[in-house]
Chains A and B, each alone.
Chain A
Amino acid sequence: MSKLKFEDFIEQSGQLTYSNVGTSMLPLLRQGRDLFTVSKKNAARCRKYDVVLYHGQNDTYILHRIIKVREADYVIRGDNCITKEYGITDDDIIGVMTGFVRDGKSYSTDNTGYRIYSVLWCAFAPVRICFKKMKIRISHLKRSVKMKIKRIIG
Chain B
Amino acid sequence: MKLSDKFILHTTDTETLLVPTGEAEFSGIIRGNETLGYICECLKEDTTREAIIERMKAEFDVLQDIIEGDVDRALKNLRETGALDE
Residues in chain A within 8 A of chain B (CB atoms): 1, 3, 9, 16-22, 31-35, 101, 104, 106
8 A Cβ contacts from B1-56 to A: 5-6, 8, 10, 12, 17, 19-23, 28-29
Q: Could you tell me the distance between the alpha carbons of A104 and B6 in the complex, rounded to whole angstroms?
A: 15
Residues in chain B within 8 A of chain A (CB atoms): 5-6, 8, 10, 12, 17, 19-23, 28-29
Q: Could you tell me the distance between the alpha carbons of A17 and B13 in the complex, rounded to whole angstroms?
A: 14
The contact sample of 19 A-B pairs, CB cut-off 8 A, is A1-B28, A3-B28, A9-B29, A17-B12, A19-B8, A19-B19, A19-B21, A20-B22, A21-B21, A22-B22, A31-B21, A31-B22, A32-B22, A33-B8, A35-B8, A35-B10, A35-B19, A101-B10, A106-B12
B22 touches A19 (CB 8 A): yes
A17 touches B17 (CB 8 A): yes
Q: Specify the main secondary structure of chain B where it touches its partner.
A: loop
A17 touches B21 (CB 8 A): no
A18 touches B23 (CB 8 A): no
**Chain B residues with CB under 8 A of A3:** 28
Please indicate which of the listed interface residues A1, A3, A17 has the most CB atoms of chain B within 10 Å of its own CB: A17
Query: What is the distance, in angstroms, from B47's C-beta to the closest C-beta of chain A?
Result: 19
**Chain B residues with CB under 8 A of A31:** 21-22
Q: Could you tell me the distance between the alpha carbons of A47 and B12 in the complex, rounded to whole angstroms?
A: 27
Query: What is the distance, in angstroms, from A15's C-beta to the closest C-beta of chain B?
Result: 10
**Chain B residues with CB under 8 A of A101:** 8, 10
**Chain B residues with CB under 8 A of A22:** 22
Q: Could you tell me the distance between the alpha carbons of A16 and B10 in the complex, rounded to whole angstroms?
A: 12
**Chain B residues with CB under 8 A of A16:** 29
Query: What is the distance, in angstroms, from B77's C-beta to the closest C-beta of chain A?
Result: 10
**Chain B residues with CB under 8 A of A104:** 10
Tell me whether A19 and B17 are in contact in the complex, defined as CB-CB below 8 angstroms, given that A33-B8, A101-B10 are known contacts: no
For A32, the closest partner residue in chain B by CB is B21
Please indicate which of the listed interface residues B20, B21, B22, B23 has the most CB atoms of chain A within 10 Å of its own CB: B21
A18 touches B19 (CB 8 A): yes
**Chain B residues with CB under 8 A of A1:** 28
B23 touches A17 (CB 8 A): no
